[in-house]
């Protein structure tokens, strides 16, 4: 026979589970309808300032919701560990088609986006509301993951990967995206020299190119891009592999990623949280905290 | 030091580990002897790794054969540490078997004498990324063994040790994942590319996060918690080498066209 307190707790948990289920089902239903009507979303539609505005609305909305209706069952449910388990399982399930059939690009679908939005909402509310033990570690992990996911998710609309094949001694001020459309770089890049070393089995050991932009030159190697500006890096992406060290051209990749420092901040916070997790070991939870 | 010497080091190391496992089973009160034998086995295998590192002129972490070597070593280290802390008498025997399986694979597949290191792997992140991952794999292998034991030996509460191992293992897994993402930005231009290996890594991390959150919320029966740890370990095998056998791996940037 359950006591009145236990009965109340069971009822509360059932109610919380229902709230989470309805919220997830409603969000996914909207995503499925959008997917059926429009196919995968056009990422360009969400380029700056639309992505920044949506992020502000999401963060601001959740902040206000938590402040004005923090005591409601809906907010408590979304910030709960049960909601966390739900979105983690959903994220893992969404990863499965990405891993097995990358060609369908499920990560670009409305359904995947909906799961990411739910994940961000749960992460933010959990960060804002957590009052348990090991608070710093909890916040580093949850806020760090929120910033990292948000920067990659919202920032993807502003990201560009452009490529240009530049002949030795020649210059270019245009690079091409994956669709083959030309984009002006706003500067002229010149390939000054190229060298490559190979192992005895013809595997490349290292390849490097000296490139210059407006009188400033840098040596590019794999793992050593040129940080051209806060939003742009130049990578040495390839060369004429048939010609080897005699290659007469190099392929340069210009990566435009204005949200990269936000993503890096998230990574560093998560790293600190992970180290704290290794150092501190398991988090003991008292019954009262678990029930919350 | 060369791979030709590996069978000798491996056999001596495995025999010492086996002696540790048998001692801990047969004479539980002689824990110090078990630990001494176990660490002796670790030192022998560690000496081979160190010697190989020096003779190759690069860290032995590139080929699957080389990562198996680290895995065997770290499973033994994790087993010895867990045994020292919680004294599960059967654990050393199981970690010896697990570690031996990968040593035997390395002995039976000797085509791993390649000294080359492709440009993408020449990074300051190479050593921390791989060693942290291998250590995580070793610790999570121990948590997997405990989860299986928990399912078989009902009534025994192994959750305190599983919790500790999952927290530490997941922390290490995230350190590996995050150093990998910074490295990916330097090498390939983005922190996350939905490469098959990255995607399986995300699923692996998700499985362990599910366990941690379920434990915190006490929202699940213990049997399902143990299943979550087992599923996490199976996903980890997919992330480590299983993805290579799927057609989707053809485009993976994590396959460096090198000896398996």
Most B CBs within 10 Å: which of A20, A79, A88, A99, as the mutation test of the B interface? A99
Mean pLDDT in residue range B220-248:
91
In degrees and rounded to multiples of 5, residue B174 shows phi and psi of: -70, -40
**Residues B179, B103 within the same domain:** no
Shortest CA distance to B133 belongs to which of B82, B183, B187, B191?
B183
> Which residues of chain A have a CB within 8 Å of the CB of B243?
99
Q: Where is the domain boundary, B82, B113, B144?
A: B113
> Which residues of chain A have a CB within 8 Å of the CB of B202?
91-92, 95
Tokens of B203: 């699923």
Mean pLDDT in residue range B7-23:
95
Per-window interface: A 216-255 vs B, CB < 8 A:
221-225, 233, 235, 253, 255
A78 contact B CB<8A: no
Residue-wise pLDDT for A157-199, tens only, equals 999 999 999 999 999 999 999 999 999 999 999 999 999 998 8
- The answer to the question of residue B204 being in a domain is yes
**Residues B244, B144 within the same domain:** yes
Residue-wise pLDDT for B34-61, tens only, equals 999 999 999 999 999 999 999 988 888 8
**Residues B132, B239 within the same domain:** yes
For chain A, what are the domain ranges? 4-158+260-291, 160-256
Q: Where is the domain boundary, B88, B113, B138?
A: B113
Q: Which residues pair with A219 in a beta bridge?
A: A210
Residue-wise pLDDT for B156-194, tens only, equals 788 988 998 899 899 989 999 999 999 999 999 999 999
Where in the sequence is the domain holding B198, given as residue range(s)?
Answer: 120-251
B164 contact A CB<8A: yes
Name the region of A215 (left: φ>0; alpha: ψ -120 to 50; beta: rest): left
> Which residues of chain B have a CB within 8 Å of the CB of A280?
167
Residue-wise pLDDT for A115-134, tens only, equals 999 999 999 999 999 988 88
Shortest CA distance to A230 belongs to which of A183, A263, A189, A208?
A263
Q: Is the pTM of this model over 0.80?
A: yes
**Residues B125, B109 within the same domain:** no
**Residues B213, B167 within the same domain:** yes
A144 to chain B: nearest residue by CA? B178
Query: Average model confidence (pLDDT) for chain A?
Result: 92
* Helix (H), strand (E) counts: chain B: 8, 0
**Residues B181, B210 within the same domain:** yes
**Residues B126, B232 within the same domain:** yes
B182 contact A CB<8A: yes
**Residues B37, B81 within the same domain:** yes
**Residues B8, B39 within the same domain:** yes
- In this predicted structure, what is the pLDDT of residue B60? 86
Mean pLDDT in residue range B102-123:
76
Q: Which residues pair with A198 in a beta bridge?
A: A204
Q: Where is the domain boundary, B113, B131, B147?
A: B113
**Residues B51, B95 within the same domain:** yes
**Residues B2, B69 within the same domain:** yes
| Total count of residues recorded for chain B | 260
Residue A289 pLDDT > 70: no
**Residues B105, B141 within the same domain:** no
Task: Output B68 or A234, whichever has higher pLDDT.
Answer: A234
- The answer to the question of residue B256 being in a domain is no
Residue B23 pLDDT > 80: yes
Number of domains in chain B: 2
- Per-residue burial over A160-199, b = 16 or more CB atoms within 10 Å of its CB, e = otherwise: bbbbbbbeeeeeeeebeeeeeeeeebeeebbbeebebeee
Does B215 contact A285 at a Cβ distance shorter than 8 Å? Answer: yes
Q: How far apart are CA B192 and CA B182, in angstroms?
A: 9
């Amino acid at each position: 026979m359950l006591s009145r307190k236990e009965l109340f707790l069971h009822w509360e948990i059932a109610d919380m589970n229902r709230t989470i289920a309805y919220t997830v089902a409603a969000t996914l239903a909207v995503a499925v309808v959008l997917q059926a009507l429009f196919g995968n979303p056009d990422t360009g539609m969400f380029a700056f300032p639309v992505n920044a505005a949506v992020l502000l609305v999401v963060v601001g909305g959740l902040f206000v919701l938590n402040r004005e209706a923090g005591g409601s069952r809906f907010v408590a449910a979304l910030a709960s560990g049960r909601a966390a388990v739900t979105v983690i399982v959903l994220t893992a399930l969404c990863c499965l088609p990405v891993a097995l059939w990358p060609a369908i690009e499920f990560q670009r679908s409305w359904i995947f986006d909906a799961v990411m939005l739910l994940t961000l909402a749960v992460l933010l509310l959990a960060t804002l509301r957590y009052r348990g033990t090991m608070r710093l570690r909890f916040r580093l992990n949850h806020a760090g993951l929120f910033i990292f996911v948000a920067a990659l998710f919202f920032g993807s609309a502003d990201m560009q990967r452009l490529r240009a094949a530049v002949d030795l001694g020649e210059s270019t001020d245009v690079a091409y995206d994956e669709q083959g459309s030309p984009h002006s770089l706003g500067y002229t890049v010149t390939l000054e020299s190229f060298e490559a070393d190979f192992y005895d089995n013809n595997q490349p050991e290292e390849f490097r190119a000296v490139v210059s932009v407006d009188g400033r030159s840098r040596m590019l190697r794999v793992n050593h891009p040129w940080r051209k500006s806060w939003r742009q890096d130049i990578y040495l992406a390839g060369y004429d592999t048939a010609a080897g060290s005699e290659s007469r051209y190099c392929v340069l990749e210009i990566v435009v990623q204005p949200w990269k420092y936000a993503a890096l901040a998230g990574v560093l916070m998560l790293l600190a949280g992970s180290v704290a997790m290794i150092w501190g070991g398991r988090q003991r939870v008292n019954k009262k905290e678990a029930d919350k | 030091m060369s791979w030709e010497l590996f069978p000798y080091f491996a056999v001596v190391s495995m025999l010492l580990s086996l002696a540790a496992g048998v001692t801990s089973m047969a004479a539980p009160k002689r824990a110090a002897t078990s630990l001494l034998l176990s660490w002796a086995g670790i030192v022998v295998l560690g000496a081979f790794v160190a010697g190989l590192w020096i003779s190759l002129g690069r860290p032995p972490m590139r080929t699957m054969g080389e990562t198996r070597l680290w895995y065997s070593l770290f499973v033994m280290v994790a087993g010895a540490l867990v045994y020292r802390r919680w004294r599960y008498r059967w654990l050393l025997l199981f970690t010896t078997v697990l570690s031996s399986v990968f040593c035997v694979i390395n002995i039976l597949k000797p085509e791993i004498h390649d000294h080359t290191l492709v440009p993408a792997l020449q990074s300051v992140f190479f050593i921390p990324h791989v060693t942290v991952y291998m250590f995580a794999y070793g610790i999570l292998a121990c948590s997997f063994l405990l989860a299986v034991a928990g399912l078989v030996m009902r009534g025994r509460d192994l959750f305190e040790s599983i919790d500790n191992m999952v927290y530490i293992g997941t922390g290490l897994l995230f350190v590996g994942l995050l150093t990998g993402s910074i490295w990916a930005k330097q090498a390939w231009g983005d922190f996350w590319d939905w490469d098959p290996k990255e995607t399986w890594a995300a699923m692996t991390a998700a499985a362990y996060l599910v366990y941690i959150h379920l434990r915190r919320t006490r929202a699940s029966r213990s049997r399902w918690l143990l299943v979550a740890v087992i599923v996490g370990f199976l996903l980890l095998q997919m992330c480590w080498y299983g993805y290579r056998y799927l057609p989707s791996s053809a485009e993976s940037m994590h396959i460096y066209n090198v000896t398996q």
